[in-house]
Structure 1
Amino acid sequence: MLRIAVAQFNATVGDLTGNVERIIQCAAAAKARGAHVLLTPELALCGYPPEDLLLRPDFYRACNRALDDLASRIDGIAVIVGHPEEHDGTCHNAATIIENGQRTATYRKMRLPNYEVFDEKRYFEPGSEPCVVTLNGVRCGINICADIWEEGAAELSRQAGAELLLVLNASPCHLDKTQERVQVLADRVEATGIPAIYCNLVGGQDELVFDGDSFALDAGKKVCMRLPQFEEALGIADFEAGRLTSDDLCHELPLEAEAYNALVLGVRDYIGKTGFKGAIIGLSGGIDSALTLCVAVDALGADKVHAVMMPSPYTAQMSLDDSREMIRQLGCSYDEIAIAPAMETYAAMLDPLFAGLPADTTEENIQARIRGNILMALSNKTGKLVLTTGNKSEMAVGYCTLYGDMAGGFAVIKDVYKTLVYRLSRYRNTLCQGDPVIPENIIVRPPSAELKPDQKDQDSLPEYEVLDAIVRAYMEEDRSPREIIAAGLPEADVRRVVRLLRIAEYKRRQAPVGIRITPRGFGKDWRYPITNRYVDEF
């Protein structure tokens, strides 16, 4: 019988010492539970993705020293650890088996992903040989992440005599990805006839969030082990006489819980791993900043979050009342800073230059930029990071102000459509013991930037259900405007949204990095030219 421990843990990119210590802790815990081997995630030694650290020869040397250090401190259990490797003048995404203080075998990833957020062909050369090792009498084949997404690597392991497939992964989450992963691994199980274990990374790394969600499939393609999402965990699976079994079987999360937990983990790790002292959020009385505040408090604790309300003459009393109620419920620090004096100063300064010109969005944007200045000043003084509050729908069409509401260091809901913002807000309220944290007024009132009298978002944009459907079809599914119109969406709205999406690219390039929760976010996935005269198909 072979007992396999599956360690989904939160590695930090570049923290070789810290990651080694974490693997040693996992190995000790696994050994205490009778495991013969510990399986770790892809590139667990250095964290994923290391990006252009992988272009530095000294980085490979440091990783090699860290691997030696790890090997010298492992005893009584085999460890399969993911790491970058320089081998015979080429670089590889590798996994090494450590036994009794020695490196006994190394597998080099064969399939290098170069799509969505992945860019591995920039750094690595593919391996060509399977790696099958005998662990406590069981022949185990090693694969790494994308190896299982197409035929080849797993089948070669089976041909080399593998009875069990062990897969190291660093698979970032997007909504509903769990079933996609299970189906992919099920295809390999069906093709090889052997069970498989999938160990995934957990934690936030810049715009990516890794959700853990490690699992195992028996030879009949049934999920026999599943570890929790968005938290570290050590699972145990036993392989005996061709059967894979486990007592670790967590439930899948519903979509709203999955999205919300991804945002919380993304904020916690971005703030924590970069060393900021906390977060600052500009409240508006609207639903986007309300949701962002909840995420920040849940991620960091109320003591590390500072909310600032900056009313103008156009701010409704309801906005102030609702923001104060949220602060009462959440307990974070809070200040109100009226911006009317700054507005008057700007008006006096600019009036001679604006003489004879009518008021327009210029004056609205000045208000947003005053607020951005205040937030950034507080950030400089306190060492806390400003979290921006713009959602994906607004980012898509440029309904945001450069150096205003876009000013900040991390965009929490940058990849959350407005329609999902409402769902997540209601979900967050279901977690409350008493009164809702987000007042019902905030959820049901028509959204408004409150930069001029009686302003509503829908004065400038289609209804959010329509807007989100158009953006999703054009941006995530690469459908042409003609196809989107044929699907039943209003032609005038399609033309308008596609035009806005195209001309807002220069804004998005200047936006802060933000958490990705969809299959395609405005970040690593989206690389459209700013200067661009392509005419879409209508």
Structure 2
Amino acid sequence: MKIAIAQLNPTVGDLWSNANNILEAAHQAASQGVRLLLTPELSLCGYPPKDLLLNPSFVHSLSVELENLAEKIPPQLAVLVGTVEANTDADSRGEKPLYNSIALLDEGKVKQIFHKRLLPTYDVFDEDRYFEPGRQSNAFTIFPTPESENFVKVGVTICEDLWNDKDFWGKQTYEVNPIEDLVQLEVDFVVNLSASPYSVKKQKLRESMLTYSAAKYHVPILYVNQVGGNDDLIFDGNSFAVNRQGEVFCRAKALETDVKILEFCPEKQDLLAAFIQPFIEIEEAEIFAALVLGLKDYARKCGFTKVVLGLSGGIDSSLVAAIAAEAMGKDNVLGVLMPSPYSSDHSITDAEALAKNLGIKSYQLPIEPAMKVYDQMLEPLFTGTPFGIAEENIQSRIRGNLLMAIANKFGYLLLSTGNKSEMAVGYCTLYGDMNGGLAVISDVPKTRVYDICQWLNREQEIIPHNVLIKPPSAELKPDQKDQDSLPPYEILDDILYRMINKHQSIPQIVDAGYDAEVVKKVMKLVMRAEFKRKQAPPGLKITDRAFGTGWRMPIASRWLS
């Protein structure tokens, strides 16, 4: 029995296009004799649809599009499609109005509907807001070929349904384990339709988890994942299949759409080996590819074809420019140099060298004339006060205004260039360098920015050498260096990782060997900067703890652990 995994890139809410992508995959699969086609979780509407689900007309349109799609599927093919189903008992039982569902399309109609049983409510997930959990195991039978006398029994799970094995995790998050229930139903294999967001090293965790479950229960598992960027989330694909011995027998491409075909042998009760796409082994390469995909899809799905960003000659804007050139094409990127009297000569020459290396367009707008006008306007109010942060931030806001003007005038998407370290401690200016429609590297710590840039230069110079070796500086006053205000980034980033990702307290971090006063200062900076992060543009998520959808900290808070 041939099975196809369709790793698709849906656009949230674009039901017709998503259905058409499913139909194209269906025709491709049918032409190769496939009997069952798998598509990702909520493949018809795209994941995550968020509060579109509160609109009854959206849910109704999904139902209509699903029926239309079922009629168009090649007759010899069965397809599992991710959709949303109304909970008709919601009002009488006091339940949520919808189910996160999988529809089995076969013989021109919707044959069966299966509901997701485990609903995640952590990090970026908020499924309990919309969905009622399914109460029963999901399985169906299918004849491998028209001539077959014996059917195959398929167990159906949706994303989180496979993430609750207490032996693997050392704990049980939910009351039930759907895969255990399916094994008791004696299914021949289990399919899992997912929309699992990307983070560094996550694919190896997924494969460890499912190889463990397959070997434990002696049942093959086929996993299909969404690919592409939707808002701040990046979905990496990496769909794969595991045989009953717990061996990976098939893997699709990372960060690209893909269709993979494999076979289930009813006599052996197991999968036959298929093509295994190699891992992207170098983390810097994987992160760069993920950010390229995230930017490319964010721009495309929001209707932008060109981007603009400020080029300071620093490491962060250099990396964002490199990502933009790869994602948008070099002819669709404009870098704007905005030197001030405090800008060093190398800031200009380094930015120009970067633009030349990337082949992108650049333009120079000195900001000294605007600075003088601001000084004149504010002089009556500021007279007698020393030069300080207010004057420094005016420079950043002038630059932000200029970039927004260019973006508005020509319909460009403005990219902000701040990294995660800066966002964490508030080393950034509201309505200045934080301006933008997308914060491309806001989940990339400063030290990792350097690592990615070094990787980019592995074969030839992309990032100018001087950018990599000069001390980081905002250049808002004479001889300014980041380390005047912050600990060295090697120290800062590890402290931030312990605070943000590991939720360690001040005493725990001090016990790890860090100075208590430094740790307290960093913690205070993180807490005080929350109001800035709440006003920041969406940022692409590449770690398991990003300043985005899953970050829900209070602004007015005095907690200091």
Q: TM-score range by the shorter chain?
A: over 0.9
Partner of 1:110: 117
Please say if 1:214 is aligned against 2:239.
yes
Task: Describe how 1:359-370 pairs up with structure 2 within 5 A.
Answer: 359-370=387-398
Q: How far 1:33 moved relative to its partner?
A: 2.0
Task: Describe how 1:197-346 pairs up with structure 2 within 5 A.
Answer: 197-240=222-265, 241-253=268-280, 254-346=282-374
Please say if 1:143 is aligned against 2:168.
no
- Of residues 97, 101, 114, the one that matches 1:94 is 101
Q: How far 1:317 moved relative to its partner?
A: 1.1
Task: Give the letter for the 1:463 counterpart.
Answer: P
Partner of 2:36: 37
Task: Describe how 1:115-194 pairs up with structure 2 within 5 A.
Answer: 115-135=122-142, 136=144, 137-151=151-165, 152-194=177-219
Residue range with higher mean Cα deviation, 267-276 or 188-197:
188-197
Task: Give the letter for the 2:431 counterpart.
Answer: Y
Say whether the 8 Å CA contact 2:442–2:539 is kept in structure 1. Answer: yes
Once residues 39 and 247 of structure 1 are traced to their aligned partners in structure 2, the CA distance between those partners, rounded to angstroms, is 16
The runs of at least 4 consecutive aligned structure 1 residues that moved more than 2 Å come to none
Q: Please give the secondary structure, in 1, of the residue aligned with 2:308.
A: strand
Say whether the 8 Å CA contact 2:104–2:113 is kept in structure 1. Answer: yes
Say whether the 8 Å CA contact 2:533–2:547 is kept in structure 1. Answer: yes
Once residues 441 and 528 of structure 1 are traced to their aligned partners in structure 2, the CA distance between those partners, rounded to angstroms, is 38
CA deviations on 1:136-173 (whole Å, 9 max, x unpaired) are: 13211110000000142112222222110010000001
Q: How far 1:201 moved relative to its partner?
A: 0.2
Please say if 1:389 is aligned against 2:417.
yes
Task: Describe how 1:363-442 pairs up with structure 2 within 5 A.
Answer: 363-430=391-458, 435-442=460-467
Partner of 1:64: 63
Say whether the 8 Å CA contact 2:524–2:560 is kept in structure 1. Answer: no
TM-score when normalising by structure 2: 0.93
Once residues 74 and 444 of structure 1 are traced to their aligned partners in structure 2, the CA distance between those partners, rounded to angstroms, is 58
Q: How far 1:183 moved relative to its partner?
A: 2.1
Task: Give the letter for the 1:188 counterpart.
Answer: S
Q: How far 1:277 moved relative to its partner?
A: 3.0
Once residues 336 and 240 of structure 2 are traced to their aligned partners in structure 1, the CA distance between those partners, rounded to angstroms, is 43
CA deviations on 1:333-355 (whole Å, 9 max, x unpaired) are: 21000001001111111111111
Once residues 422 and 322 of structure 1 are traced to their aligned partners in structure 2, the CA distance between those partners, rounded to angstroms, is 16
Partner of 2:27: 28
Task: Give the letter for the 2:63 counterpart.
Answer: N
Say whether the 8 Å CA contact 1:225–1:245 is kept in structure 2. Answer: no
Any stretches of 5+ residues in structure 1 without a counterpart? none
Task: Give the letter for the 2:388 counterpart.
Answer: D
Say whether the 8 Å CA contact 1:369–1:401 is kept in structure 2. Answer: yes
Once residues 342 and 214 of structure 1 are traced to their aligned partners in structure 2, the CA distance between those partners, rounded to angstroms, is 53
Once residues 391 and 453 of structure 2 are traced to their aligned partners in structure 1, the CA distance between those partners, rounded to angstroms, is 31
TM-score when normalising by structure 1: 0.97
Q: How far 1:246 moved relative to its partner?
A: 3.3
Once residues 366 and 226 of structure 1 are traced to their aligned partners in structure 2, the CA distance between those partners, rounded to angstroms, is 51
CA deviations on 1:58-100 (whole Å, 9 max, x unpaired) are: 1110100010011010022110011111132441000011111
Once residues 273 and 466 of structure 2 are traced to their aligned partners in structure 1, the CA distance between those partners, rounded to angstroms, is 47
Any stretches of 5+ residues in structure 2 without a counterpart? 90-96, 145-150, 166-176
Partner of 2:9: 10
Once residues 78 and 20 of structure 1 are traced to their aligned partners in structure 2, the CA distance between those partners, rounded to angstroms, is 15
Once residues 63 and 12 of structure 1 are traced to their aligned partners in structure 2, the CA distance between those partners, rounded to angstroms, is 14
Q: How far 1:304 moved relative to its partner?
A: 1.2
- Identity of counterpart residues, as a percentage? 45
Say whether the 8 Å CA contact 2:371–2:395 is kept in structure 1. Answer: yes
Q: How far 1:188 moved relative to its partner?
A: 2.5
